[in-house]
Structure formats: structure tokens, C-alpha cells
């Protein structure tokens, strides 16, 4: 039986952040169920859902990064994109949140770094707000620090120097946009990817 106290590969660094992520997403669902049902309720979508696969596929390959086209994503694939690890418990939580659309895309740099973008749509704005931004913040609990780039003021993110990782989440209505970078992929690349995804989403939904 797998040791549930640590991540696959024996690293215990992610155990607490992953459990916290699962608990946070579970709390989002509970809050949504308890919320009022009026037109301004957080259980409302708050806007139109975009086309997740079209969003990630609209991005050009950044600089010398290369990778395959985007692909629709199930809960397991979303978990890997969000955190860089496989975790059945977190995947189960994501599946229970029932994303209505989801796609991911990943590029790799010659130096071994990665850039992953994720576009998802959810049943409510509340869940969309929490998914990417809260998962980004769990990097803070794993040795990182909070980071909100001036170019994307409504986003929430985090960054860590060792091992190098950057996460950035942004929600628009029922849509959650998320960017995760590792290794030598820099902040400017992350910001540009997020800005481009937001522009594509705005073009889809008005």
C-alpha cells in the first residue's frame, strides 16, 4: 500500500500542501451548497464558459519552448497539471467539483524547464475562483512566497526558488485559467501566457 504521508517518489515536502489543497476544494463545495440562490449568489456561473481546448491551443510556443498541442483533461490530468504530481485523493476532489470543460498543454525548454497552461470551466464562479488561485497559494506552504504580477492584478500566484516553480491563477466567471512553470522558465513567460489566455477567453465570451 502506498504511503499516504508522502508524494510518489518518496518526497514528503508536498504531503501537507496536497492535503490542504484537497481540503480547500472540499470547503469550496460546502460553501457553494450553503450559499443563497439569488442572481448574485456564488453558486451562479457569473458569466459564459469558454472553450478550454481552444484557449490553450491558441497560444504560440513561447521562445525556444516546444511541446504537443493541447488536450482535453480528466481529473487525473488536471491534478498533474496543477501540481506536477499524480495524486488520486486530489483527483477525486477535482472530479467531485465536476468541471464542465478542461484542457491542458505543456511545453519543455532545452534546459529541462516546463510551462503548463490549464483552462477549465466549472459550475459556479465560487469554485472557479478557488481552484487555480488556491492551488497556487499552496506553493507558499511549500517554501514559496505569494506573487501577484502587476500585469495581471486580479490574479493570485506564488513562486519558489528551490526547486524553481511559479504558479499563477486567474478566474473569470465560471472559468479558471492557470499557469505553472518549473526550472528555467521565467516569470515573464508565465505572465505572457496568462495574458494571452485571458485575451482568448475574452474573445470567446465577450
Any idea where the domains of the chain sit in the sequence?
15-205
8 Å CB contact between 181 and 114? yes
Q: DSSP secondary-structure letter at 100?
A: S
Q: Is the pLDDT of residue 26 over 70?
A: no
Q: Which CATH number fits domain 15-205: 2.60.40, 1.10.3470, 3.40.1000, 3.30.390?
A: 3.40.1000
Task: Supply the pLDDT for residue 63.
Answer: 93
Contacts of 128 (CB under 8 A, 6+ apart): 46, 120, 121, 122, 171, 172, 173, 174, 175, 176
Task: Supply the pLDDT for residue 14.
Answer: 43
Residues paired with 168 in a beta bridge: 157, 179
Q: Is the pLDDT of residue 179 over 80?
A: yes
Residues 6-22 have pLDDT tens digits of: 222 333 344 455 555 55
Query: 116 — phi, psi (to 5°)?
Result: -120, 130
Q: Give the whole-angstrom CA distance, residue 35 versus residue 110.
A: 48
Amino acid at each position: 500500500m502506498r504511503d499516504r504521508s508522502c508524494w510518489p517518489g518518496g518526497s514528503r515536502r508536498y504531503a501537507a500542501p496536497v492535503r490542504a489543497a484537497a481540503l480547500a476544494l472540499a470547503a469550496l463545495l460546502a460553501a457553494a451548497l450553503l450559499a443563497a440562490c439569488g442572481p448574485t449568489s456564488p453558486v451562479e456561473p457569473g458569466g459564459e464558459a469558454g472553450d478550454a481546448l481552444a484557449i490553450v491551443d491558441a497560444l504560440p510556443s513561447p521562445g525556444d519552448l516546444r511541446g504537443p498541442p493541447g488536450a482535453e483533461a480528466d481529473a487525473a490530468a488536471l491534478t498533474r497539471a496543477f501540481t506536477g504530481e499524480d495524486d488520486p485523493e486530489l483527483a477525486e476532489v477535482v472530479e467531485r467539483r465536476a468541471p464542465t470543460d478542461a484542457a491542458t498543454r505543456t511545453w519543455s525548454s532545452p534546459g529541462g524547464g516546463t510551462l503548463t497552461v490549464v483552462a477549465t470551466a466549472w459550475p459556479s464562479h465560487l469554485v472557479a475562483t478557488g481552484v487555480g488561485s488556491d492551488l497556487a497559494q499552496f506553493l507558499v506552504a511549500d517554501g514559496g512566497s505569494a506573487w501577484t504580477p502587476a500585469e495581471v492584478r486580479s490574479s493570485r500566484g506564488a513562486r519558489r526558488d528551490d526547486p524553481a516553480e511559479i504558479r499563477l491563477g486567474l478566474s473569470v466567471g465560471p472559468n479558471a485559467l492557470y499557469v505553472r512553470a518549473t526550472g528555467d522558465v521565467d516569470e515573464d513567460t508565465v505572465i505572457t501566457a496568462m495574458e494571452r489566455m485571458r485575451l482568448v477567453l475574452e474573445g470567446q465570451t465577450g
